[in-house]
Amino acid sequence: MKKKNLLIFVVILCVLSSCASSSKVKGSRLYDCSGRLTEAIEKYQKKRYSLAQEQFSEILSKCPGHSSNDTTFYFLGKCWLALKKPDDAKLEFDRLSQTFPNSPFSEEARYLVGLTSFLASSPWYLDQTSTLEARNRLREYIELNQGSPFADSARIYVGKCNDKLAEKEYQTARFYEKTNHYESAIVYHKNVINEYPESPFVQQSKLAVAEDLIELSRNTEAIAVLDQLLGESKDDAIVRKAGALKQKAAKKQL
């Protein structure tokens, strides 16, 4: 009898264990991945970005391998972008482009990787490694997607990267001028002129080069720089300063 009761007890345990396991499976199937995704997208469209972000993240954890995960990655990245967290956004767009290269979101995601790289990059007065990386990602995108509707925007952000890099060089040159290291200042100003010809700092750098050359008593070289600047500048303030510097250099030659 005891043996029979023990056997029954074991059978009941086995059944309960099986039911519990079955219940877990059924419970996991009750999570409506597609329905929850639709809800999350609606939250995003209503600009409820924090709530949408939480739901998109939940969907990825609850629905690994789901056929619409490229959509989830895309909107999760857009949520992070709206929440001004470009590093997190970059991660999701990168995951999307790497995991789903044939997704209809993939081309835009590759552009957004470059954009978020720029948005996450350091200001000009810090190390510019992150800005260089952003520029490389954007240039790579342009090269591979020249006909893309996002290509023009990518070019604009390449220009913004260049502006930051140019400002870094320009401000470094000004620092050397303050410490009377004019030769070093000229090197950095010439980097601005040669490497970033579209930069708004170019004419200021040319003017500064002429000033530095005058400080070094290299007046003939200074006049040549100023003549070039006078011939190309349409900025009245730059023209006035260049004219005054040219007179100063000419007097020093006498």
The DSSP secondary structure of 113-169, one letter per residue, reads: HHHHHHHTSPPTTS--HHHHHHHHHHHHHHHH-TT-TTHHHHHHHHHHHHHHHHHHH
| Helices and strands counted in the chain (H then E) | 12, 0
Confidence of residue 114 (pLDDT cuts 50, 70, 90): very high
Residue 154: the pLDDT is: 98
What residue ranges define each of the domains in the chain, with the CATH number in brackets?
Answer: 35-95 (1.25.40)
Span 42-63, pLDDT tens digits: 999 999 999 999 999 999 999 9
**What does the pLDDT average to over 142-157?**
96
**What does the pLDDT average to over 101-108?**
96
Q: Could you give the CA distance from residue 86 to residue 195 in angstroms, rounded to a whole number?
A: 28
Residue 29: the pLDDT is: 57
Among the ranges given (2-6, 37-41, 98-102, 202-206), the one the predictor scored with the smallest mean pLDDT: 2-6
Neighbours of 150 (CB within 10 A): 18
Q: Could you give the CA distance from residue 4 to residue 26 in angstroms, rounded to a whole number?
A: 33
Residue 253: the pLDDT is: 82
Span 215-226, pLDDT tens digits: 999 999 999 999
Give percent of the chain with pLDDT exceeding 70: 89
Span 168-206, pLDDT tens digits: 999 999 999 999 999 999 999 999 999 999 999 999 999
Query: CB-based contacts of 115: which residues, under 8 Å, 6+ apart?
Result: 138, 153, 154, 157
Q: Could you give the CA distance from residue 188 to residue 54 in angstroms, rounded to a whole number?
A: 47
**What does the pLDDT average to over 225-249?**
96
Which residue would you say has higher pLDDT here, 185 or 23?
185
Residue 14: the pLDDT is: 37
**What does the pLDDT average to over 66-81?**
96
Residue 28: the pLDDT is: 44
Residue 119: the pLDDT is: 98
The DSSP secondary structure of 232-250, one letter per residue, reads: H---HHHHHHHHHHHHHHH
Among the ranges given (15-24, 135-144, 145-154), the one the predictor scored with the smallest mean pLDDT: 15-24
Alpha-carbon distance values, 35 to 1, 55, 147, 153, 156 (Å): 54, 11, 35, 34, 38
Whether 108 has a pLDDT exceeding 90, the answer reads yes
Nearest to 202 by CA among 175, 226, 170: 170
Whether 5 has a pLDDT exceeding 70, the answer reads no
Q: Are 81 and 112 in contact (CB under 8 A)?
A: yes
Structure tokens that stand for 233 in this block: 């500048």
